[in-house]
Homo-oligomer: A and B are copies of this chain.
Amino acid sequence: MKQVSIIGIGLIGGSFALDLKQHIPGIQITGIDQNKTHLTEALTLGILDQIGDLNSLKHSDLVVLAIPVNAALEVLPQVLNLISDQAVVIDMGSTKEAICKAASTHPRRAQFLATHPIAGTEFSGPSAAIHGLFKNKTNIICEVEKTLPALGELVLTLFKTMGMHLRFMPANDHDKHIAYVSHLSHISSFMLGKTVIDKEKNERDIFDMAGSGFESTVRLAKSSPDMWTPIFEQNKVNVIETLTEYIQNLNQFKAYMEKDDFDAVHNEMKNTNHIKQILKGIA
């Protein structure tokens, strides 16, 4: 692998470029992005070797899509049309069913691999790129059987070199589980932030009284709406299901409080403390 094109030089695309440079000496990375400022920034930061466009894709051995999931649906077929017969294309989006469907009827379906590295921060843009972001993170691989074995192997070996743990799963299973362990967290965080901002017009009160607990719970409310809106749109059915259950649980908790049933309140918390054991496995 000598030539890699990365479409979308943000936190994920930029961090992937940094890891590529670390693990593959001499690799040439071309960046493609609608945001010219991000491209210039990424060049200056040494994340990219050159700036390209879709026409330069034919020289790439690997093309990485690290753009919002709605844009990925449009760009993937174009990319598959433009690459060489030996190249492989991967996407890294937080939804997998729609992108797999978008690829399904393309004559070059076998040159595509759907991936979702569970990594990131609440920040965005190339300046948010981090060395080693993917180390010890899980990467969910979908429909691996539809990718040419040699190309799949090339990409999976690269992921393992970067320190990722691979997990294989049907796209619809991915979208269902990820709604619970990622998408719902973002909504709960955004709505918590909204509730507090709406109430506390006097921001000095938030600033003074909020501790690290609040900061931690509301951290994801800093995330990019441009990235997250299309994720919620593509995973609408699953996300609504998680929201319905979450709201039911909150209503139940509130009802216990209204009835002064604080034994039940205690119980709810005690049962959920079990999350300690589950989280021990998360880096």
A interface with B by C-beta (< 8 Å): 118-122, 137-138, 140, 165, 167, 177-178, 180-182, 184-200, 203, 205-223, 225-226, 228-230, 232-233, 236, 239-240, 242-247, 249-251, 253-254, 257-258, 260, 262, 265-276, 278-279, 281-283
Q: Which 7 pairs show the lowest CB-CB distances between chains A and B?
A: A225-B269, A185-B217, A193-B275, A118-B211, A181-B210, A207-B281, A229-B266
Does B184 lie within 8 Å of A195, measured CB to CB? yes
Does B232 lie within 8 Å of A217, measured CB to CB? no
Q: How far is the CA of A7 from the CA of B119 in the complex (A)?
A: 43
Per assembly, the copies of the chain total 2
Closest chain B CB from A200 CB (angstroms): 6
Does B167 lie within 8 Å of A180, measured CB to CB? no
Does B275 lie within 8 Å of A218, measured CB to CB? yes
Q: How far is the CA of A260 from the CA of B276 in the complex (A)?
A: 36
A251-B247, A262-B233 given; A222·B273 CB < 8 A: yes
Does A209 lie within 8 Å of B181, measured CB to CB? yes
Q: How far is the CA of A167 from the CA of B207 in the complex (A)?
A: 12
Q: How far is the CA of A205 from the CA of B178 in the complex (A)?
A: 9
Contacts of A197 in B (CB 8 A): 271-272, 274-275, 278
